[in-house]
A = this chain, B = another copy of it.
Amino acid sequence: MTEKRKCVLDGIRVADFTRVYSGPAATQLLGDLGADVIKVEDLGQGDDARVFGIGDNSHHPLQGASAAFIALNRNKRSIGLDLKVPAARDAALKLAEVSDVVIHNFRPGVMERLGLGYEDIRAVNPRVIYCDISGYGSAGPLAKQGANDLALQAHSGLMSITGTEQGEVVRCGSAVIDLHCGVIAAAAVLGALLHRERTGEGQRVEASLLSSSADLMAVFYGEYWLDGTIPKPMGSGNRLGVPNQAFATTDGAVIIVANNDDMWRRIAGALDKERLDQPEFRPIAGRRQHRKRLLDMVAEICARHTTQTLLDVLSAAKVVASPLYNVAQAADHPQLAAIGGIAEVDIAGQPIKLITAPMRMEKTPPSVRRAPPAHAADTIEILRELGLTPAQIDALAEAGGIRAADAARRTRKTG
């Protein structure tokens, strides 16, 4: 029978023990796809990411809700539980028992010590899909080592190929490994849900920053294993194309890419056929041999024109080119809004823009249904859904096991 579902994960509940970046990215995507994501936060400040960078933003309009937290935590409800208090740990286990997916990014061993390891949860919920997200995976000499995005940028060699031609290496400006890991974890969960739908069988799945970084570096590792190549950073360029980098214009910069000879001829034709379309610049080996001379000529031409003029001629010649935008220009570019890339939610009475899920699905479109939650905003509501009585909830509060920003609401409703 054909059943109508608005989102692909409608009816799926996710018990989310993650914080900071990779895990919240994974669960946000599951939430965008329709899942009911319940974010378990400690009683202190909650997810560390709530205050990331806030120190830099004293003029920040939303106290206690950093840009990082806002970007990664929509479509979630928040429950404040101190997992070291037995009754609160029991509530967490109850949540895991009635969830389809349990996901965490503690160091290996932490969930087990809390009595929330895979075996603990499978015992009460045999169909559970349990997802570990770790820094370096669950085996090997570094398994217990803490990690973050920058550590893996350094460990993976990504930093060693990111930098200037003079050899100064720099970080890739965004937390690309964390965020890639988030989508990988979500994909593993989707695969496991498909398997469970067919067979009834749950399973344990795992993503790690190390595996995610290796996925981003696979071409370079493979080349090194093939022939010993150890690449160095090349500024905005790389070894694959000439040109394949940024050039300054009168009012900014433009990147121009010739990834084959045909593209180079089109670039030469668009910029200055007479000077550039020379036989020694084809095939690619010639452009590599005469790299400096060719790049100097292209640079000299670009330096005489505006970015827009260059884009117009290059794009008419079907050359891959782009302005080098800053964050403001990128965020506000009309193309992003045109493809539905921006949503708006209300936080503390203010309209806040968010980037939507990165895929489109015609029949089951991802959606933004809830703004990122205030810390412990839904504690009482969730405990009630788990079947706790008002007396049990009061006892939990007295034992110091919960934080409940919705306690006032509860009082109003029940008082």
Contact = CB atoms under 8 A, between A and B. Distances in A.
A367 interface: no
A335 B168 contact: no
A238 interface: yes
Contact of A361 (B179, B192, B235): B192
A327 B212 contact: no
Main secondary structure of the interface of A (DSSP, over half): mixed
Contacts of A106: none
Interface in A262-296: 283-285, 288
A191 B151 contact: no
A42 B139 CA distance: 43
A214 B338 CA distance: 13
A103 interface: no
Nearest to A165: B170
Interface in A208-255: 208, 210-212, 214-231, 233, 235-240, 244-246, 253-255
B139 A339 contact: yes
A146, A253, A318: most-surrounded residue (chain B CB, <10 A): A146
What 9 pairs across the A-B complex have the smallest Cβ distances? A140-B338, A161-B173, A137-B339, A67-B223, A157-B330, A221-B331, A188-B359, A203-B363, A218-B355
Interface stretch (A1-9, A87-95, A378-386, A398-406): A1-9
Interface residues on A, range: 35 or more
Contact of A328 (B3, B172, B230, B245): B230
Interface string A160-174: 111110001111111
A82 to B, nearest CB: 18
Contacts of A60: 226-227
Contacts of A337: 140
24 contacts: A55-B283, A57-B227, A60-B227, A67-B222, A140-B334, A146-B320, A153-B255, A154-B254, A154-B323, A157-B331, A158-B172, A160-B173, A160-B324, A164-B164, A171-B237, A173-B220, A173-B231, A180-B180, A187-B187, A190-B191, A192-B361, A221-B353, A228-B328, A229-B327
A319 B147 CA distance: 9
B197 A198 contact: yes
A376 interface: no
A333 interface: yes
Contacts of A326: 157, 160, 230
B240 A52 contact: yes
Contacts of A246: 154, 159, 169
A224 B70 CA distance: 12
A409 interface: no
Interface in A119-154: 136-143, 145-148, 150-154
B327 A244 contact: no
A162 B161 CA distance: 12
Contacts of A217: 174, 327, 330-331, 355
A339 B215 contact: no
B170 A359 contact: no
A388 interface: no
Given A140-B339, A179-B215, A205 B360 contact: yes
Interface in A173-188: 173-176, 179-181, 183-188
A166 to B, nearest CB: 9
A306 interface: no
B148 A257 contact: yes
Contact of A335 (B142, B180, B253, B353): B142
A341 interface: yes
Given A194-B197, A210-B341, 4 more contacts: A154-B325, A157-B325, A179-B180, A217-B327
